[in-house]
């Protein structure tokens, strides 16, 4: 018992002050990119050709954060530094269109409407369904619950049964073999319910877009309320998205450096 208490003192208090304080992310962390299409040379396709997931379109220059793996190969390929990735981890968005980044400032995820916020704002129970996820996103979702990120302090919890849940969190490109289980799980969640797609695979298929045995992310008939991009998204990105969805973090514009 004394040893346990001594260890407890030695291990210390480790819970991060986030999302209120600054994010303790290293210089190499790759968050939100900024684009300056005016720098593009005519006919140059270097960034689009370097991208492993075809996330970049041109004229106008645009990156789909839903397909982006944040590998920064485009940044390396661009001779004019028209694409620069920064340390801003706040990436979640409410719609597919809002994940398309072009010149200018991007907006962050908006909160749910007043009614949903009054229902779920202080207590959100989620059921996770991995549908072809490689366990990267799953591991980061688990990490949001550890002593550092401590999802539980915001009243958010992952539960064992869809019957106990207010919504589902989907990871993976949705394999054919998991589609039925995913739909049945969704159907088992009582209404009103929300759907959250976490990771490039769930949003667009990510590295598995076009794979023969899976879809390219959450089927269009499941209404997604929150998209959390990344491969996998950092736990802080997930946390930020969830808290913004619940209106627990005030809306502010995406900054150039996080």
- Residues near other proteins, by CB under 8 A: 3-4, 7-8, 10-11, 14, 25-26, 28-30, 50-53, 69-73, 128-143, 146-148, 158, 160-162, 172-173, 175-181, 185, 201, 206-208, 210-214, 231-232, 234
- Residue 70, sorted as left (phi over 0), alpha (psi -120 to 50) or beta, turns out to be left
Q: What are phi and psi of 58, to 5 degrees?
A: -125, 160
- Give least dist CB 114 to other proteins, A: 30
- Give least dist CB 61 to other proteins, A: 19
- Give least dist CB 37 to other proteins, A: 22
Strand (E) positions, the chain? 33-35, 56-57, 62-64, 83-85, 100-101, 124-130, 156-158, 167-171, 194-198, 226-228
- Residues whose CB falls within 8 Å of the CB of residue 183, separated by 6 or more in sequence, listed in order: 222
- Give least dist CB 173 to other proteins, A: 6
Distance CA 47, CA 61 (A): 10
Distance CA 217, CA 53 (A): 13
Nearer to other proteins, 207 or 219 (CB): 207
Nearer to other proteins, 137 or 246 (CB): 137
Q: Token digits for 200?
A: 């490039």
Nearer to other proteins, 112 or 216 (CB): 216
Closest CA to 230 of 183, 207, 198: 198
Nearer to other proteins, 5 or 253 (CB): 5
- Give least dist CB 160 to other proteins, A: 4
Distance CA 229, CA 65 (A): 6
Nearer to other proteins, 119 or 213 (CB): 213
CA distances in angstroms from 206 to 85, 100, 140, 231, listed in the order given: 18, 15, 17, 8
Strands of the sheet with 124-130, listed across from one edge: 156-158, 124-130, 167-171, 194-198, 226-228
Nearer to other proteins, 50 or 100 (CB): 50
- Give least dist CB 118 to other proteins, A: 27
- Give least dist CB 97 to other proteins, A: 25
Nearer to other proteins, 39 or 86 (CB): 86
Element (H, E) at 201: helix 200-204
């Amino acid at each position: 018992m004394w040893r346990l208490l001594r260890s407890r003192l030695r291990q210390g208090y480790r819970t991060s002050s986030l999302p209120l304080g600054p994010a303790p992310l290293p210089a190499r962390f790759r968050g939100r990119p900024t684009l300056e299409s005016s720098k593009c040379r005519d006919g140059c396709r270097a960034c689009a050709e370097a991208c492993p997931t075809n996330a970049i379109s041109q004229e106008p220059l645009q990156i789909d954060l839903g397909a982006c793996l944040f590998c920064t190969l485009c940044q390396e390929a661009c001779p004019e530094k028209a694409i620069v990735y920064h340390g801003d981890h706040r990436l979640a968005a409410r719609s597919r269109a809002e994940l398309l980044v072009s010149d200018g400032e991007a907006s962050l995820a908006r909160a749910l409407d007043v009614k949903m916020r009054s229902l779920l704002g202080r207590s959100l129970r989620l059921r996770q369904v991995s549908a072809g996820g490689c366990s990267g996103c799953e591991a980061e979702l688990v990490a949001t619950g550890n002593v550092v990120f401590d999802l539980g302090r915001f009243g958010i919890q992952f539960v064992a049964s869809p019957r106990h849940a207010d919504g589902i969190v989907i990871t993976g490109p949705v394999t054919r073999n998991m589609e039925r289980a995913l739909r049945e799980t969704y159907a088992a969640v009582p209404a009103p319910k929300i759907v959250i797609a976490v990771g490039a695979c769930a949003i667009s298929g990510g590295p598995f877009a076009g794979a023969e045995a899976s879809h390219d992310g959450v089927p269009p008939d499941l209404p997604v309320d929150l998209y959390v991009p990344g491969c996998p998204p950092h736990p802080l990105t997930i946390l930020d998205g969830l808290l913004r969805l619940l209106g627990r973090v005030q809306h502010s514009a995406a900054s150039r450096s996080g």
